[in-house]
C-alpha cells in the first residue's frame, strides 16, 4: 500500500488589468468621510478631515461628509455604495466578527457583522482608519507592549468586515497627517505596499510585511505593520460603564500604522490580483 502526500501551494499573480492613467482622465470618484461619536475635540477633528477632503477634491473626488455626533447608518450605507474611499475617524470597539476589535461607533454601535452584511461596496474601495483604537494595532488603553500577534489580530478584526463587504485595501494610521501622507504616495502611482514601505522610518520600522493567513479573504492579501519602540510619557484614557479614567504612563512599544489587502492596489489603476 502506497501513501501519497501532497503539498498545495498558493501562487499569487499580481498584474494590472488596465494601464496606469492620469487622475485627470478618470471620471469623478466618490469618498465617504465619517466622524464617530464622542471623539473629544470635535472641531479639531473636523479641521483635520476637511484637510484630507480638500486634497481629495483637488484630485477630482466628491466627498460626502458625515460629521454629526449621531450619524445615520442608513444614509452612510447609501452613500458608500459607489465610494472608492471610505474613511472613518472615531472610537474603535470590540464588536468584531470573531470577537475582539471590529466595528464603528456613530451614535449607535455598528458591529463588524453588520458592516460585512449591510455595506454594499461596488467600486472595491480602500478603507482608511484615522486614529482608531485597534485599527493599526495599538489602542489608547494599552499600558504595555501588546505584541505583534495581538496587533495582527486587532488589525484583521478592524479591517475584515469592510473587506468582506467588497473593499480590497485597508490602511490605518494613528499619526496626524498619516492619511494624507498615504494618499500622496498613492497618487504618485505607488502601490499600497510600496506606499507602506515608503512611509516607514528608523523610528517607525517595519515590524511585519507578509502574506495574510485568513481563509475568508484572498490568499494573496498581505498585512503590514509599522511599530515604534515607545518611551516618553503618554496619557491612557479608559471608559468603563460610562466612567472615564485618565492616567499617565511610560509609553509602551506601539503599533501605529498598518495595511491589509491587495498589496498591488493603486489609486488610479484597476488592479487584478489572482490566486492560482
Grid cell at residue 99? 470577537
Return the pLDDT at 74. Answer: 96
Residue extents of the structural domains in the chain = 27-265
Return the pLDDT at 41. Answer: 86
Return the pLDDT at 4. Answer: 38
Query: Model confidence over 26-60: pLDDT tens digits?
Result: 789 999 999 999 887 889 999 999 999 999 999 99
Return the pLDDT at 15. Answer: 52
The reported pTM is 0.88
- pLDDT beneath 70: ranges in the chain: 1-11, 13-25, 238-242, 269-276
Please report, for residues 126, 135, 235, 246, 256, the alpha-carbon distance to residue 249 in angstroms, rounded to integers and kept in the order given: 34, 21, 6, 10, 17
Return the pLDDT at 19. Answer: 44
CATH of domain 27-265: 3.40.50
Q: How many CA atoms within 13 Å lie on the side-chain side of 244?
A: 7
Grid cell at residue 75? 444614509
Return the pLDDT at 232. Answer: 75
Return the pLDDT at 11. Answer: 63
Return the pLDDT at 101. Answer: 97
Q: Cα–Cα distance between 232 and 33 in angstroms, integer?
A: 32
Is the dihedral angle over the CA atoms 224, 33, 21, 276 positive or is it negative? positive
CB atoms within 10 A of CB 238: 13
Return the pLDDT at 156. Answer: 98
Amino acid at each position: 500500500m502506497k501513501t501519497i502526500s501532497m503539498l498545495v501551494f498558493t501562487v499569487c499573480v499580481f498584474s494590472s488589468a488596465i494601464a496606469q492613467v492620469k487622475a485627470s482622465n478618470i471620471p469623478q470618484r466618490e469618498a465617504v468621510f465619517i466622524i464617530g461619536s464622542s471623539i473629544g475635540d470635535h472641531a479639531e477633528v473636523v479641521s483635520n478631515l476637511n484637510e484630507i477632503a480638500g486634497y481629495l477634491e483637488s484630485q477630482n473626488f466628491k466627498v460626502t461628509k458625515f460629521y454629526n455626533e449621531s450619524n445615520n447608518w442608513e444614509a452612510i450605507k447609501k452613500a458608500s455604495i459607489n465610494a472608492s474611499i471610505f474613511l472613518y475617524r472615531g472610537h474603535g470597539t470590540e464588536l468584531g466578527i470573531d470577537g475582539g476589535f471590529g466595528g464603528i461607533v456613530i451614535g449607535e454601535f455598528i458591529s463588524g457583522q453588520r458592516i460585512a452584511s449591510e455595506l454594499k461596496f461596488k467600486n472595491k474601495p480602500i478603507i482608511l482608519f484615522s486614529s482608531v483604537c485597534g485599527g493599526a494595532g495599538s489602542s489608547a488603553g494599552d499600558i504595555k507592549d501588546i505584541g505583534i500577534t495581538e496587533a495582527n489580530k486587532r488589525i484583521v478584526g478592524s479591517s475584515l468586515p469592510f473587506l468582506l463587504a467588497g473593499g480590497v485595501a485597508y490602511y490605518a494610521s494613528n499619526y496626524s497627517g498619516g492619511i494624507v501622507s498615504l494618499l500622496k504616495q498613492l497618487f504618485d502611482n505607488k502601490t499600497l505596499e510600496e506606499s507602506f514601505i515608503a512611509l516607514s522610518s528608523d523610528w517607525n520600522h517595519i515590524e511585519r510585511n507578509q502574506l495574510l493567513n485568513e481563509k475568508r479573504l484572498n490568499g494573496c492579501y498581505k498585512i503590514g505593520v509599522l511599530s515604534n519602540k515607545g518611551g516618553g510619557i503618554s496619557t491612557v484614557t479608559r471608559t468603563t460603564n460610562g466612567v472615564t479614567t485618565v492616567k499617565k504612563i511610560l509609553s509602551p512599544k506601539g503599533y501605529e500604522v498598518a495595511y491589509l489587502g491587495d498589496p498591488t492596489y493603486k489609486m488610479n489603476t484597476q488592479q487584478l490580483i489572482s490566486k492560482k
